[in-house]
Chain A
Amino acid sequence: MSILGTRVVRVEDPRLLTGGGTYTADVRDPRLEGALHATFVRSAVAHGALRGVDVDEARRMPGVVDVVVGAEVDLPPVPGTVNRAMARPYLAVDRVRFVGEPVAVVLTERPEQGPDAAELVVVDVDPLPPVVGTDAALADETLLFPEVGTNLVAEAGAPDGATAPDGPAGCEVVVRQRMVNQRLAACPLEVRSSAAAWDGGRLVVWCSTQNAHGVHDALVRAYGLDPADVRVIAPDVGGGFGAKIGAHPEDLVLPWLARRVGRPVRWVETRTENMTAMVHGRAQVHEVTIGGRRDGTIEAYHLDIVQDAGAYPAMGAYLPRLTQAMAAGTYAVDRVTSRSRVVVTTTTPVASYRGAGRPEATAAIERAVDLFAAEVGLDPAEVRRRNLVPRFDEPHTTAAGATYDTGDYPAALERALAAAGYEELRAEQARRREAGDPIALGIGVSTYVEVTTGPYAGSEVGWVEVRPGGDAGVEVVVGTGASPHGQGLATALAMLVSHHTGLPHDAVRVVHGDTDLVAGGTGTFGSRSLQLGGSAVRGAAVEVVEQARRLAAEQLEAAADDVVLDPATGRFHVAGTPAVGRTWAEVLAAAGVPALRAEHTFTATQPTYPFGAHVAVVEVDTETGDVRLRRLVACDDAGRIVNPLLAEGQRHGGLAQGVAQALYEQVVFDDDGNPLTATFADYAVVSAAELPSFELVDMETPTFVNPLGAKGIGESGTIGSTPAVHNAVCDALAHLGVRHVDMPCTPERVWRAIRDATR
């Protein structure tokens, strides 16, 4: 029996459980001997002209070796994403654009000396009006980049989609709603951290990143170095969730500082720095217009998006493209249009956060469908039944332009409804309403489809090397261009290699996140690692087996085509005569080769589209507005599952983050652009106490896109759960006349919505 599809416990765990892992701050390396510690001085003002930075007093503090201001850093600014003219300097030069923007950096002998000295750096700023919120940005009264002439970074789509007569506006039933898909903080438990050392002419950087190769390439660009002269190492990484895909300016400036002082430099930020200066996610304002017939048929849909990109356009400037591509969701609607505008504001830059553009699309259409269902007086599950794309095994192209690979949305919906006991829940809800129970029951349904590996066909590299050693007589070393940081990819890759080589999975060691050990590579994000990285390693394993099979055939004096590998024992033998064979170790020894090795690049023909359906059950105290999530049933279909244990872990984590968006978490700035959620005491990171145990429903619809049949599972939970929980809260209040509550559905908002609807 194959190891694939079984619940193999993780090979990563023992080290993490006993020694606590080696994160960037923990790295002890001879090249970092004598490293200085960088402490960034950050803007306390959201927007202003930078008049001067006085570092004299800071320089006299104990342990201070150097203090650097922006004008001294002679690296070209990093061009803005989508709009290159909105470029970002490493340290602010003549203007500050958000609270937390680095202005200067203090280098000290010991880490604790840094904050003492940084406090004495005097930053002289002439305040300018802040630009907070997308409306203020679109008004273009105050410009972040006067030389660009507008705060608009990019614009795409159909500006008149909401009003065009052939769109939803021309339908029998038209429902509109403005919704805020609020700004979130990724909150990896490990904050950002980097270390840089010049080793002769070579640059070595350790970085807490999801993409060592991406950081490598950014450093090559920034410093104009030969790619071979840069090595980036991602040690253990304590979570990323999209926010650590790209290198931040603080990461990229460390080598410059190290070169200036002639010593290695390392940096570990504080949580407050992380909450204010690491990229945020989401931050879209939506206006949905949905149209159809009274019988529940949805005929047209328009999604208007304004994306708050924060002070400098990063990945956030690109997110609406993903949202627009996925605008149609799971529905067979002929007319779907969308429009996006991306603006800069004087707030923390926005980039990817788990789901990155797709949760926003799902949240919009799933709320819209519920609003439509309420308008026509039909059950939301029934409206979905009538409008879902039927099962398809050949690619399906939506009106929004995306080509879904495989899917069976009606089956996912029915499985989730059945597991939840949907009809009984509705009966219970009716009983409570009848009895005037102050604790209202809310039932929320969502269906979702998302795009993984990015909007285009992805690619990844992997290699497999079999060499003598270890208990099994040989050991296998696998390299991957993915950069896992908690997903358990090493376990999944070891299982794939075991399946193809017949060698035990615990004889497989996986290396990743080191640009010297794996040439090329794209990292871990967009739920891409198993489907692309796994397919690449699978290809390499198949090639290595083929090499060994040919050697075994020579040694057994048989025709190559007659020799087979017994996957159960890992022995090569002539087909039909298993008694005479060669183990991997024997093949290697007899051939006199030190190792067999193959490298394989897998390129997909298109992205994959995982899907599913979630049902949430909430209780709302109508007297206080307090919401409790009682149940969350999640049917998630990510194609073929290599390791159900790992897949469940991904789903659990995603569900928790999705629930957190619906009910708890939000990054808040005041009108002056001051962050009000800059610590874990202020930002409502979801804890164990708020969550129930999730009820998972399995479903596997394989994809033809890769040989594993696998789609991505990393983000599905986040994407499906947010609208299910959000719909449940709104559903709980429907009988009180509440139509919509924006996320997060905090007690205050819910209480206000009830008060406004009932007074």
Chain B
Amino acid sequence: MEITLSVNGVERTSDVEPRRLLVHHLRDDLGLTGTNVGCDTSSCGACTVLLDGESVKSCTILAVQADGHEVTTIEGLAGAAGNGETGALHPVQEAFHAQHGLQCGFCTPGMVMAAVSLLDENPHPTEEDVRLGLEGNLCRCTGYQNIVRAVLAAAGEVRA
């Protein structure tokens, strides 16, 4: 089936199998490997992207369901995508850096996108709001403490 997605602000038209998951479409068809696959039960959240601005696990929706919609991945979050310039970081990315909210980095793209969506819905969360809000995103390295700090810092709730 032919589908057209706006991915990080760029129109992308592809012919995909109806069974193709959005995450595989992003990674294997469009070459956007920043979005990771961490499980096969929609449990880990490593594949979280924004669909029309709201976080979704891109392993739980089909590429064809995203037809006509806007997708934002980690590569498109910062002003200058993926060039490694610290100056171009989104405030949530900046907070993850300042608060040591990442270690191996594998959950990070999904975690950052989930955090962006969380703050969009609740700009002034409590620590408990953040912990419950990120329950669907697993991290094995950080013990979540600095991720939670980073989200609160991005919300201006704690000093960076």
Residues of B within 8 A of A652 (CB): 142-146
Most chain A beta-carbon neighbours within 10 Å: one of B73, B96, B108: B108
Residue pair A238, B145 in contact (C-beta under 8 Å): no
Residue pair B108, A10 in contact (C-beta under 8 Å): no
Residue pair A238, B78 in contact (C-beta under 8 Å): no
User: A interface, by DSSP: helix, strand, loop or mixed?
Assistant: loop
Q: Which residue of A lies closest to B38 (CB)?
A: A189
Residue pair A654, B102 in contact (C-beta under 8 Å): no
Residues of B within 8 A of A681 (CB): 41, 43
Interface size on B, residues (CB 8 A): 62
Contact of B83 among A18, A22, A651 (CB under 8 A): A18
Residue pair B33, A20 in contact (C-beta under 8 Å): yes
Residue pair A688, B98 in contact (C-beta under 8 Å): no
Q: Which residue of A lies closest to B34 (CB)?
A: A20
Task: Judge if B97 is at the interface, Cβ distance under 8 Å.
Answer: yes
Residues of B within 8 A of A270 (CB): 40
Report the Cα distance A694→B137, complex, angstroms. Answer: 19
Residue-wise, chain B 138-155 has the 8 Å CB interface mask toward A (1 for contact) of 111111111110000000
Q: Give, as a whole number of angstroms, the nearest-CB distance from B64 to chain A.
A: 15
Task: Judge if B36 is at the interface, Cβ distance under 8 Å.
Answer: yes
Residue-wise, chain B 13-56 has the 8 Å CB interface mask toward A (1 for contact) of 00001001000100010000111111111011010000000000
Q: Give, as a whole number of angstroms, the nearest-CB distance from B146 to chain A.
A: 6
Task: Judge if B107 is at the interface, Cβ distance under 8 Å.
Answer: yes
Q: Known: A10-B97, A656-B143. Contact between A238 and B105, CB under 8 A?
A: yes
Task: Judge if A12 is at the interface, Cβ distance under 8 Å.
Answer: yes
Task: Judge if A26 is at the interface, Cβ distance under 8 Å.
Answer: yes
Contact of B104 among A19, A26, A485, A648 (CB under 8 A): A485
Residue pair B39, A680 in contact (C-beta under 8 Å): yes
The residues in A between 481 and 532 inclusive whose CB is less than 8 angstroms from any CB of B are 485-488
Report the Cα distance A400→B4, complex, angstroms. Answer: 67
Residues of B within 8 A of A23 (CB): 33, 36, 106
The residues in A between 658 and 709 inclusive whose CB is less than 8 angstroms from any CB of B are 679-681, 685, 687-689, 691, 693-694
Q: Which residue of B lies closest to A25 (CB)?
A: B33
Task: Judge if B67 is at the interface, Cβ distance under 8 Å.
Answer: no
Q: Give, as a whole number of angstroms, the nearest-CB distance from A484 to chain B.
A: 9
Report the Cα distance A651→B35, complex, angstroms. Answer: 27
Report the Cα distance A19→B37, complex, angstroms. Answer: 15
Residue pair B85, A189 in contact (C-beta under 8 Å): no
Report the Cα distance A271→B42, complex, angstroms. Answer: 11
Residues of B within 8 A of A488 (CB): 100, 103
Q: Known: A18-B81, A693-B127. Contact between A688 and B148, CB under 8 A?
A: yes
Report the Cα distance A484→B146, complex, angstroms. Answer: 20
User: B interface, by DSSP: helix, strand, loop or mixed?
Assistant: loop
Most chain B beta-carbon neighbours within 10 Å: one of A111, A186, A488, A652: A652
The residues in A between 263 and 318 inclusive whose CB is less than 8 angstroms from any CB of B are 270-272
The residues in B between 100 and 130 inclusive whose CB is less than 8 angstroms from any CB of A are 100, 102-109, 112, 127, 130
Report the Cα distance A445→B109, complex, angstroms. Answer: 37
Most chain A beta-carbon neighbours within 10 Å: one of B38, B109, B112, B130: B38
Task: Judge if B156 is at the interface, Cβ distance under 8 Å.
Answer: no
Residues of B within 8 A of A159 (CB): none
Residues of B within 8 A of A475 (CB): none
Task: Judge if B74 is at the interface, Cβ distance under 8 Å.
Answer: yes
Q: Known: A10-B97, A17-B97. Contact between A688 and B41, CB under 8 A?
A: no
Report the Cα distance A487→B140, complex, angstroms. Answer: 12
Task: Judge if A188 is at the interface, Cβ distance under 8 Å.
Answer: yes
Residue pair B104, A486 in contact (C-beta under 8 Å): yes
The residues in A between 4 and 62 inclusive whose CB is less than 8 angstroms from any CB of B are 9-10, 12-23, 25-26
Name 25 interchain pairs, CB-CB below 8 A, sorted by A.
A13-B102, A14-B84, A17-B74, A17-B97, A17-B102, A19-B74, A189-B38, A189-B46, A189-B106, A189-B141, A238-B105, A238-B106, A238-B107, A239-B141, A271-B38, A485-B104, A487-B103, A488-B100, A648-B146, A653-B140, A657-B143, A679-B41, A679-B43, A681-B43, A694-B143
Other than the known A653-B141, A653-B142, A687-B136, what 17 A-B pairs have Cβ atoms closer than 8 Å? A17-B93, A18-B81, A18-B85, A26-B33, A111-B28, A189-B138, A189-B139, A236-B105, A238-B38, A648-B146, A649-B100, A680-B39, A681-B41, A681-B43, A687-B144, A693-B148, A717-B143
